[in-house]
Structure 1
Amino acid sequence: MRDINKALELLLDKLESWGDQIILMLPNLFVALVLLIATFWLAKVIQNALDRVISRFSHSAAINNLVSTLLYIALLLVGFFFVLSVLQLDKVVISLLAGVGIIGLALGFAFQDIAANFISGVIIAVQKPFGVGDMIETNDYFGVIERITLRTVDIRKPTGELVKLPNKMVFENPLTNFSFHGIRRVDVEVGISYAEDLEQVQKIVTEALEDVKNRVKTREIEVMFDAFGDSSINFKARFWVSYSRQVDYVGAKSDAIIRIKKAFDANDILIPFPIRTLDFGIKGGEKLSEELQAITASIKNGQPLGGNGH
């Protein structure tokens, strides 16, 4: 019975001391509460102001939201640490800082690939080497960009498949942006007969390509002979077209081929078929020509075939 009474007395004394400490800390609690409310209000005001400022320099919604959110969280953490200091919980502040550092280090090792993609996405958003709607080729993938996030670049291939490339791969590897200048050169390879007048061919091809689809009129058409082929003289017809989609390129090339073919037909210019000469070497130790001559002679003389192999 004495032990129970003693335990109750100790408990009451402890509760009384806690009550006294709470009463003594009431001013600090009030200040801490006001400071916490002010922190939330100030962080929100600064975040909204930063959103307006950043939007003037950056058109990437992902980057703008990221920067403003990080600043908002940082301000809340600072205010939270001040609140703990006002409540004289300095040891808790130190423990929290140490814990945050350890957790951050562990997460850095565990999610280093995600962090690399995230950082690459931020750099891509800032540098803007390409944008949504651009036709690009990278990492052996060719297509139009449908979406850019802080983790992936989404590419829609001409055949319809959607490829999600991690930002790290896009950032670290060579990339070709076909839409950067808004124009693209089309090369059409053609072969003509050795009997044709080359200067006349140049003139006919140039005239045929004057009104090809989407052609950039300020760029000249080039017809350049570049090789003596096995059965033809080869040349390349080169011209520039306005380019925003892949169909602009393939459509112009198809139209150019049709126009060149019609022009050649109208002017009797021959596009030769490949020529192959077959040489039947030696058969059974004798030349095939000699074998044929022997057979012909045997027939004329009325001799039967066979026996000696003829």
Structure 2
Amino acid sequence: MVQDLSRVLLAYWQQFLVILPKLLVALVLLVAAVFLANRLSAFLGGRLRNRSADPLLGDFLASIGKWVMILVGLLLALNILGFSGIVTGLMSAAGVSAFIVGFAFKDIAENFLAGVILAFNRPFHINDTVQIKDLIGHVEALNLRTTLVRTFDGKHIFLPNSLVLKEPLINYTRDGNLRQEFLVSVELGETETPDSVIHIILNFLRSVPEVQQAPRTPYVNLEKATATTVDLRVYFWTDSEDYRRGVLQQKSRLMQQVKQELLGAGVGVPVLGQ
């Protein structure tokens, strides 16, 4: 029994000596693959973070690239060691598994791919104010599966990336300029005319620093007129970087100021609306 065990161990040792050069080459290849994968991950991570405003997605794609390269190195190492059958089996199993997993998690894969598209061809940036369907709020993050939007009343809404990609999206703050409007209904006195009221409103808007002037000058349209009243639609442009405070509150202030300006000019009681 001892002699048989010695012969078996000697045979294994001789086989190990035969395969040792291949094993060393495979080990060096695997170490090199891990080293290059780390360098590639750092390089891709930096490039992706520079091109994408979302560091999470850049880090994830860099990590995917790292593990793909390590897997390629492992498969090459197994092939060098003569385990080509195992490599073929792993590739076949990977293909079948990818098909099964892709079918089972179709929605997750769809949202992930939509997130990649949004990251590189993005209709918004972080902190932009957007509207998707009936939802309006600030974009806070773009994750692998969802886009995080915080509404003006403090709710955090996680929207699937595929929904954000497919639905029409209104960006209120993309270029920093936004036109607003409101309605002014006034009673005309014996001396007032629509033109005189429009002149008062425009003179006031031209004196407000927050209201943009040329080339986006404010203007007023006459929408409706009766014997004693007129409805005037006031249009003006403002900076939309801060939509909730800089736009909505500013519009509210202007509406009140226009009302006071008309009252101070002796115009009949003005009624403001949207």
Using the size of structure 1 for normalisation, the TM-score is: 0.77
Taking the TM superposition and a 5 Å limit, the aligned residue runs for 1:112-131 are: 112-131=106-125
* Higher relative contact order structure (alpha carbons within 8 Å, sequence separation ≥ 6): 2
Q: 1:83 and 1:267 mapped to 2: Cα distance?
A: 88
Equivalent pair of 1:231/1:272 in contact (CA under 8 Å)? no
**Residue in 2 aligned with 1:292?**
none
Superposed displacement of residue 59, structure 1: 4.9
The equivalent of 1:250 in structure 2 is: 248
In the other structure, the counterpart of 1:287 is: none
Tell me by how many angstroms 1:206 deviates: 1.2
Which deviates more from structure 2 when the two are superposed, residues 88-97 or residues 20-29?
A: 20-29
| 2:18 matches 1:24 | yes
Q: Does 1:235 align with 2:229?
A: no
How has the CA–CA distance of structure 1 residues 141 and 216 changed in structure 2, closer, same or farther, with 3 Å as cutoff?
same
Whichever residue aligns with residue 216 of structure 1, its letter is: Q
Residue 258 of structure 2 is matched in structure 1 by 260
For residue 163 of structure 2, the aligned residue among 160, 169, 179 is: 169
- Whole-angstrom CA distance in 2 between matches of 1:272 and 1:40: 74
Q: Which residue in 2 is equivalent to 1:277?
A: none
Give me the whole-angstrom Cα distance separating, in 1, the residues matched to 2:139 and 2:50.
24
Does residue 191 (structure 1) correspond to residue 185 (structure 2)? The answer is yes
Q: Figure out how many residues of one structure are paired with residues of the other and give that number.
A: 267
Q: Deviations over 1:15-56 (max 9, x none)?
A: 554343223222222222222222222322333344455556
Larger Rg: 1 or 2? 1
1:67-146 equivalent positions in 2, closer than 5 A: 67-146=61-140
Query: Following the alignment from structure 2 to structure 1, what is the Cα–Cα distance between the partners of residues 25 and 105?
Result: 39
TM-aligned CA distance change 1:257 to 1:92, over 3 Å: same
- The verdict on how the C-alpha distance between 1:52 and 1:138 changes in structure 2, with shifts beyond 3 A counting, is closer
Question: What percentage of residue pairs aligned between the two structures are identical?
Answer: 27
Shift of 1:78: 1.6
CA distance in 2, matches of 1:209, 1:272: 16
**TM-score, structure 2 length as denominator?**
0.87
Where structure 1 has 5 or more consecutive residues not aligned to the other structure, the ranges are 274-310
CA distance in 2, matches of 1:215, 1:255: 12
User: SS of the counterpart of 1:35?
Assistant: helix
Counterpart contact for 2:181–2:236, Cα < 8 Å:
yes
Q: Which runs of 5+ in 2 are unaligned?
A: none
Task: Say what the alpha-carbon RMSD is for the aligned residues.
Answer: 2.6
Greater than 6 Å deviation, 4+ residue runs: 8-12
